[in-house]
Amino acid sequence: MLTGNDNKIIIHNHLHAPTRQQSNLMHELAHVICDHQHPKTHQNIKLPFFMRDYDQQQEEEANYLGSTLQITRDGLIWALKKEWK
């Protein structure tokens, strides 16, 4: 979500379990990293309505990258030793 001066913000639900919070944050960071954009038709819609309509391809990209961002250093080293590239 963009603010009036084009800063990106992530809306965080602190009531979720810590593991879910981490997953949610990595998913939303993936949207930022991929520079996913909301359609111009959705930019002036107030919460929570814009969250109900989304681009399926962008969601799949964010799911994949978000999960990848959660891999631990030990997990990455293990995969490298197995030559998983």
pLDDT digits (tens, 9 = 90+) for 23-44: 999 999 999 999 998 766 555 5
Q: Label residue 84 by pLDDT band (50, 70, 90).
A: confident
pLDDT at 73: 95
| Residue 8 within a domain | no
| Residue 2 within a domain | no
Q: Within a 10 A sphere around the Cβ of 61, how many other Cβ atoms?
A: 16
Residue in 64, 74, 76 with CA at minimum distance from that of residue 23: 64
Q: Which domain holds residue 65?
A: 18-81
| Residue 62 within a domain | yes
| Residue 10 within a domain | no
Q: Where are the alpha helices (DSSP H) in the chain?
A: 18-33, 56-69, 73-81
| Residue 11 within a domain | no
| Residue 64 within a domain | yes
pLDDT in tens, 56-80: 999 999 999 999 999 999 999 999 9
| Residue 73 within a domain | yes
Q: Within a 10 A sphere around the Cβ of 16, how many other Cβ atoms?
A: 12
Domain count, the chain: 1
| Residue 5 within a domain | no
pTM, 2 dp: 0.72
pLDDT at 25: 95
